[in-house]
């Protein structure tokens, strides 16, 4: 018999602290992104989505949808098994080849998500290199933290972007060091000091592992991420990325040396024992990557950055506090979990504007925020509505 009181105790505590998560029933509208349909407890209405990770709207792009329709007619829905048991189609092979080219690496390996890719690659590295010791940025994503923890390897944590602290931690490593970090940190929008990290990696003969999930598709001449933008592909050993954000599809991957990819795929349980991505998804992702590698992709990236700039300028002009950064992430700081939820609801109910509150444990307590993600599909009218909703919301719920 289930001890129901144990479960309700957990959710009651979350509700009391303001950290209980409410998942809004949002339905994307094909052809009219970022407009969505919200199924509320009272009615159904159109809203403007300001918090989607489909940063470029590629999940709605004709190039992607056409490729997926063709694949659906060609091979059907699912893959039919794990990669080892009938789950490797030409669509999987072609996508891995395209990812390798994107990152200037000899090979790539698909996973069902970037979270799984991070977790199980880091676990696999410990199996392959028994004395590996991870040196981790203290703002790393949960998937990286879980992977290092579950690997059983020794872990050293350095302060975010603090190169002196990183070097001190590298000096303490007794085995093979592996520096684990992200390029763009999703909640603050900060960018890691990739060049400086690579310099220290060379000095201490460390492996470099970077998570580029919030940068691929958006930065670099061909959308290869921050590493590509800096011309450091040859300096970073393992690149992790996602197909579920700027590429508008689903899934995750790593790109690296062919020998590493071959070994990881051979020992990574999270890869071996999971049904592979549907070929339809692979087809859409391949088309999206090719499109964003082309000149048309660069035009879209420039339009995206322009909309980010306009949004930030409007927020500054309205004296709404944002966490300043040089990326597309726009955190509006609220600093209180209950107020954050109230303003989010105010935007949704009163101004047809959808932004999910970001609370603990995603961000530290006292740094709660509304994370805005402008896209090339937003416009000035939407920005004006956003500013009005935030201004009235802060006025209404300020103590």
Provide the annotated active-site residues.
245
Query: Which sign does the torsion angle of CA 386, 391, 395, 399 carry?
Result: positive
183 and 194 in contact (C-beta within 8 Å)?
yes
Within 13 Å and on the Cβ side, how many CA atoms surround 77? 0
Dist. CA 247–CA 95, nearest whole Å: 12
Q: List b or e across 124-141, with b for residues whose CB sees 16 or more CB atoms inside 10 angstroms.
A: bbbbeeeebbbbbbebbb
Q: Which two tokens stand for residue 67?
A: 């490729």
Dist. CA 162–CA 180, nearest whole Å: 14
| Phi/psi of residue 362, nearest 5 degrees | -65, -40
For the chain, give me the number of helices (H) and strands (E)? Answer: 14, 14
Dist. CA 91–CA 285, nearest whole Å: 10
Dist. CA 185–CA 144, nearest whole Å: 12
Q: List b or e across 183-219, with b for residues whose CB sees 16 or more CB atoms inside 10 angstroms.
A: bbbbbbbbbbbbeebbebbeebebbbbbbbbbbbbbb
208 and 45 in contact (C-beta within 8 Å)?
no
CB atoms within 10 A of CB 316: 12
């Amino acid at each position: 018999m289930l001890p129901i009181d144990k479960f309700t105790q957990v959710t009651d505590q979350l509700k009391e602290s303001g950290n209980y998560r409410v998942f809004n029933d949002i339905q994307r509208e094909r052809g009219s992104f970022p407009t969505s349909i919200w199924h509320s407890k009272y009615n159904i209405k159109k809203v403007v989505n300001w918090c989607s990770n489909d940063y470029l709207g590629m999940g709605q792009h004709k190039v992607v949808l056409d490729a997926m329709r063709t694949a659906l007619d060609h091979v059907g829905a699912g893959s039919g098994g794990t990669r080892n048991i009938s789950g490797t189609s030409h669509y999987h092979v072609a996508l891995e080849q395209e990812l390798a080219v994107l990152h200037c690496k000899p090979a790539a390996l698909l996973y069902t998500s970037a979270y799984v890719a991070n977790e199980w690659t880091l676990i696999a590295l410990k199996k392959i290199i028994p004395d590996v010791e991870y040196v981790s940025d203290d703002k790393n994503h949960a998937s990286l933290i879980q992977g290092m923890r579950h690997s059983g390897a020794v872990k050293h944590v350095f302060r975010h972007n603090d190169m002196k602290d990183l070097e001190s931690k590298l000096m303490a490593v007794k085995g093979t060091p592996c520096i684990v970090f992200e390029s763009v940190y999703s909640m603050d929008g900060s960018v890691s000091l990739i060049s400086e990290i690579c310099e220290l990696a060379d000095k201490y003969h460390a492996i470099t592992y970077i998570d580029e999930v919030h940068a691929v598709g958006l930065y670099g001449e061909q959308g290869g991420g921050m590493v590509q933008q800096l011309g450091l592909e040859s300096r970073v050993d393992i690149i992790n990325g996602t197909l579920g954000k700027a590429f508008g599809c689903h899934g995750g991957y790593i790109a690296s040396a062919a020998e590493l990819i071959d070994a990881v795929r051979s020992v990574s349980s999270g890869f071996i024992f999971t049904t592979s991505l549907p070929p339809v998804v692979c087809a859409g992702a391949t088309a999206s990557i090719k499109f964003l590698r082309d000149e048309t992709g660069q035009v879209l990236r420039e339009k995206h950055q322009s909309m980010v700039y306009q949004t930030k300028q409007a927020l500054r002009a309205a004296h709404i506090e944002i966490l300043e950064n040089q990326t597309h992430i726009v955190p509006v700081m609220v600093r209180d979990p209950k107020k954050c939820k109230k303003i989010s609801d105010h935007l949704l109910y009163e101004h047809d504007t959808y932004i999910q509150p970001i609370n603990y444990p995603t961000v530290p307590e006292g740094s709660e925020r509304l994370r805005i993600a402008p896209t090339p599909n937003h416009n000035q009218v939407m920005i004006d509505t956003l500013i009005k909703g935030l201004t009235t919301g802060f006025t209404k719920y300020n103590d």
